[in-house]
Amino acid sequence: MAFTDVTTGGRTILEGMGPVKVTLAAACLPGDLLGYSSGWKLADGNAAVYAELVAGLKGAIGDVITAYRMAKVGGITTGTAGNVLFLSDTAGGYSATTGSVSQKVAIELGGDVLVAGVSTKVGEILVQPQYAVLHSTLKHTVALASGANAEGVAAYFETNTSGTSTGHTYGLGSWINIGTAAVPAAGHIHVPLEVGVYEDAATMTNARIVFGIQAQGILTGTPASLHFARINTTKTITALFAAANPGSIAYTAGTGAGTAVGWIAIADIVGVGVVYAKVYSAT
């Protein structure tokens, strides 16, 4: 059965998460998608008013109602469980296809029930509540017109620890789990984390660009050991870095004219100890 939305008041809120109170700038019905545009109104693809909340109650202009960041909505006719729903060109509604804008806003659960989870920012988003497993991509786009930001414009995570640790501590993790039947594509990279800087004809004359990461160790105590990174693999690696071209690794062919000026402790290998790389001056 194909998905059919109900925009005449037949939707019901079965569960809600992240409740907030909002003052309506337009009338709404339970389950309507709301967006902010000079007040809280019905989200509407035609008007480019993106969904940010799910209405929990019926309300008129000026009413204060409860809305949700995420909600389980009943009273609609759903098709195949797991199908993605989009913001509709019908104000407040859901659609099985993209309309004037493309914003993913819900997943069909089957049995006349959907789960809506919308973003606090414009863009593509699907949430993963405990009662639905969504195969989704989280895309969070923000703009920084000017100024500075030391905590991450698009995202910032902080882990605060206390007490005595009994194991490893990871502030952020990302894994690719390659299944038995998987066949990774030849000639392509498979990496659990990609970062980078893209520039589009900007004024770069005075810019200092670090397109990888900045790692800092701001410590007052003296740890047993201190390292920039740790590597653990069950296979012997081909090389420490895979470079797409010589410039990517600052490689210059030839023997060089420099003289040895010192050593850098390059690795502390379990069972071997610290090993060093000899470094040379430029001339």
CA-CA distance, 138 to 35, in Å (whole number)? 19
Which two structure tokens, joined as six digits, stand for 185? 């594509």
Which two structure tokens, joined as six digits, stand for 101? 């804008």
Strand 104-110 with 33-36, pairing: unpaired
* Residue of 185, 188, 179, 120 lying closest to 154 (CA atoms): 120
Break the chain into its structural domains and give their ranges.
12-117
AA letter at 57: L
Q: According to the model, what pLDDT value does residue 152 have?
A: 62
Give the angle subtended at the CA of 95 by the CAs of 48 and 89, to the nearest 5°: 30
Q: What is the DSSP string of 253-270?
A: -S--S--EEEEEEEEEET
Q: According to the model, what pLDDT value does residue 29 have?
A: 94
AA letter at 25: A
- Cβ(224)–Cβ(268) under 8 Å? no
* Residue of 61, 51, 63, 66 lying closest to 15 (CA atoms): 66
One digit per residue, pLDDT tens: the chain, 283 residues?
Answer: 678 888 787 889 988 888 999 999 999 999 999 998 889 999 998 898 888 899 999 999 999 999 998 888 888 876 678 788 888 999 999 988 888 888 888 888 877 777 877 543 344 444 433 333 333 445 555 566 666 666 566 677 778 888 888 888 888 888 888 888 889 899 899 999 888 988 888 899 999 899 999 899 999 999 999 999 999 999 998 888 888 888 888 887 776 667 888 988 888 888 888 888 888 887 7
In the Cβ-directed half-sphere of 20, how many Cα atoms lie within 13 Å?
13
Q: According to the model, what pLDDT value does residue 170 have?
A: 86
- Cβ(54)–Cβ(71) under 8 Å? yes
